[in-house]
Amino acid sequence: MTIGLIDYGMGNLHSVQIAFRRFGVELHAVHHPSDLDSCDALILPGVGSFDPAMARLTATGLVPDLQRWHANDKPLLGICLGLQLLFDSSAEGSSAGLGLLPGRVEKLPSDQGERIPHMGWAKLQPCTPSPLLRPEQDQEWMYFVHSYAAHPTDASVLTATAPFGQSQATAAVWSRRLGACQFHPEKSGEAGQRLLQRWLTWLNDGAPLPR
């Protein structure tokens, strides 16, 4: 199985590559649409702001291919900004997102007694079961760095939230074979490694659709 790592100039590629090498998996760099031909699954990382990220992603020519990839029900994992880009739009800018998941990304609320950006560890609250996290598993601590959070139109795609003051923010989503984490599993120690291992196991099992 070949897993592609999308390189559009705004992803924390090295740490993601190192995390997967611990499992003996070498990720395949994806710069152009032709690089997708040999891929069975994709990872969309991201660090930075929404509009510059969409501009760079658009410049690669990959946007229509990623939309077709999702329409064809192929596995894709978003990380941090990579989660936000999956949605329709963001309050951080004016660009349209990939539109793979209905919803909008909004700035974290300023009335929760928390610093923005939210930077540090938070304990996940499992929601809808998915190959990333399941309700019967112990809650995991993951590492976050973000100022915005997704608000899915369909709450059933939430597979985990995390506390932000007195509220809960989207921490991970899952829909059919599309999943994403707002946190950085590659920087979340053993808990993050367990999550990535679950995703790899799901892929190796044939990427079955969640029941």
Q: Which residues of 92-108 are buried (b: 16+ CB within 10 A; e: fewer)?
A: bbebebbebbebbbbeb
| Spatial distance between the Cα atoms of 177 and 163, rounded to a whole number of angstroms | 26
**Has 127 been annotated as catalytic?**
no
Active site includes 181? no
Residues ≥6 apart with Cβ < 8 Å to 207: 41, 75, 177
Out of 39, 80, 127, 181, pick the active-site residue. Answer: 80
Respond yes or no: is residue 186 known to be catalytic.
yes
Amino acid at 197: Q
Any idea which residue has 């120690």 for tokens? 189
CA-to-CA distance for 63 and 198, rounded, in angstroms? 27
Residue 162 token pair: 């995390």
Catalytically active residues, by annotation? 80, 184, 186
